[in-house]
Structure 1
Amino acid sequence: MATSMLGDYLRGRRAQLTPLDVGLSEDGRRRVPGLRREEVAMLARISVDYYLRLEQGRERRPSPQVLEALSEALLLDDDGRLHLYRLAGMTPLPRREGGIEQADAQLLAMAELWDRTPALILGRAYDVLAANTLGRAVFNHLEPGANLLLAMFLDPSVRAFHADWETAAANAVAGFRFLEGARPLDPRIQEVLRTAGTSREFADLWRRRDARGKSHASKVLLHPEVGELTLRMQTFDVRSAPGQQLIVYHAQEGTPTADALRLLGSLAATRPGHRDDSRGTVS
């Protein structure tokens, strides 16, 4: 019998589920563990014959719609869904996302241990979901719940905060274009785009169609309390929340910026209730 990695994966995942897992009744007369092929086909709304061909390796290129239906029928998590698409030689369809978006509590708790490293957690549409203590001290104009892109173009204080606002604005727009390409159906991304479109400067940059993700970079910030800060930036994808990003800033030891960060950290730690505003939620 022909086989394939895709077929083996489907068969293996089917064997891990019980009828009760997927809302079916258990008849008690099963010769093998797991779901029957007929049940998976029914749950995925495809024919039994087509599903059989997939498992046997006689069909190796299902459509994205079929893969999406199978990932739902087999209760695959994000990693399992990605693996299913890869076995079929395809890239996953973007999911329509919504609801309340929150930062991972364990990730934020880890970031709070970095007393010399400002950190922000951004949502899938550049919403500021959380910041550690030093991150809030450095980016005191970006309260949790603010949006990084909208603040860049609609908040006058942000223009004064960046020594090179034009470059920072262009990078923010290119990064947002990159996000939109990955999730074009996301309602929050579209909402932010509509609001940002009220800025002529944003509209001019958006028409350039530059697209690039955040990575490592250096920027100079003009902080109202401690003056000029020269920071390196690193960006990490958050595996526990696809679409979210952890932005980490650091300064070279022995520089005025490193001294300024220590001062900001000390000031922030002594302010009453400094941990109470560490996170926000975005729907």
Structure 2
Amino acid sequence: MTGPTELGEFLRIRRSGLQPEDVGLQNYGVRRVPGLRREELAMLAGVSITYYTRLEQGLSSNASESVLEAITRALQLNEAERSHLMDLAKPTRTKRRSGSKPDKARAGTLRLIESMSSMPAVVLGRRSEVLAWNSLGHKLVGSHLDFESPHCPADRPNMTRMLFLDAHTRELYASWCEEATRAVSSLRLLAGRFDDDLDLISLVGELTVKSAEFAKLWAKHPVENCMSGLKYFQHPSVGSMELDFEVLISPDESGHRILMYTAEPDSPSAAALQLLQATAA
């Protein structure tokens, strides 16, 4: 899922998104293809056109960190995109990891989210699979599913799969297109970081085949480290809600995350969340 081909695709897409005037260059005449030319990007990065072309064509897999940093500056990448570029440029691994041993949330994490009685919380694995949720988290994002489903690997929900393939989840998000872009951007970042995860590769393949919308977004190679923001819900039980979300990442290598939602105090969304809490109780 990563490697020279993915690296080249990422570089081409980001190069095509920059115009000469964006980087202080004079634009002469009509261009056959949008964006910067390879020679312009190579000049800005201070590398030879031959070397840069080899990177885009997947013919060079050992770019130095200094070269990658120069390309990062030339492409005006943000920190998430820079991190993704570094992941894509690392040597291809030969060992592939599968989920032969089902993942599960730690006992301490379960106690933590259970103590958040007034805050929806969901524990996610590295592939956005739901490892656990508290009662309010379940009512918010998975009320049509069995509360115990995260504890059975065969039935475990996956937030990204649900977003694209589950009609109930699609109707839950009032700004579905924004949510879909955010989900694909996060998955792209994870795919570069965990390029040896066979289950993650399988998920991307499944969604690419089953959802034309996912395939279109994936091809654009969006990258974003979505740690906080605002989500717009149209919940079937309590109606419209605007909820802030925060993500806490486990400090180990598990890739586990806790997704938490809050509402602005004394707002209509806070009232709706309290009503949802009452139904959860």
From 153, 159, 162, the equivalent of 1:151 is: 162
The reply on whether 1:192 has 2:203 as its aligned counterpart is: yes
Name the CA distance, whole Å, in 2 between partners of 1:188 and 1:194: 10
Give the match for residue 274 of structure 2: 262
Residue aligned with 1:120, SS: strand
Deviation at 1:236, TM superposition (A): 1.2
Percent sequence identity is 32
TM-score norm. by structure 1 comes to 0.60
Deviation at 1:96, TM superposition (A): 3.0
| Structure showing greater Rg | 1
From 202, 210, 222, the equivalent of 2:222 is: 210
From 169, 172, 179, the equivalent of 2:190 is: 179
CA contact (8 A) 2:96 2:198 kept: no
Deviation at 1:141, TM superposition (A): 4.2
The reply on whether 1:96 has 2:97 as its aligned counterpart is: yes
TM-score norm. by structure 2 comes to 0.60
CA contact (8 A) 2:243 2:261 kept: yes
Deviation at 1:258, TM superposition (A): 1.2
Name the CA distance, whole Å, in 1 between partners of 2:254 and 2:186: 16
- Supply the AA of the counterpart residue of 2:112: M
Name the CA distance, whole Å, in 1 between partners of 2:171 and 2:273: 19
Residue aligned with 1:219, SS: strand
Query: What does the per-residue CA deviation read over 1:144-183, in whole Å, with 9 as the maximum and x for residues that have no partner?
Result: 2111111111111222111110010011001000010000
CA contact (8 A) 2:191 2:200 kept: yes
Unpaired segments of 5 or more residues in structure 1? 1-89, 270-283
Deviation at 1:105, TM superposition (A): 1.6
Name the CA distance, whole Å, in 2 between partners of 1:262 and 1:168: 24
Runs ≥4 residues deviating over 4 A:
none
Give the match for residue 172 of structure 2: 161
How many aligned positions are there?
A: 179
Query: What does the per-residue CA deviation read over 1:16-75, in whole Å, with 9 as the maximum and x for residues that have no partner?
Result: xxxxxxxxxxxxxxxxxxxxxxxxxxxxxxxxxxxxxxxxxxxxxxxxxxxxxxxxxxxx
Name the CA distance, whole Å, in 1 between partners of 2:245 and 2:125: 17
Residue aligned with 2:168, SS: helix
CA contact (8 A) 2:125 2:254 kept: no
RMSD (Å), alpha carbons: 2.0
Residue aligned with 2:195, SS: coil
Deviation at 1:200, TM superposition (A): 0.6
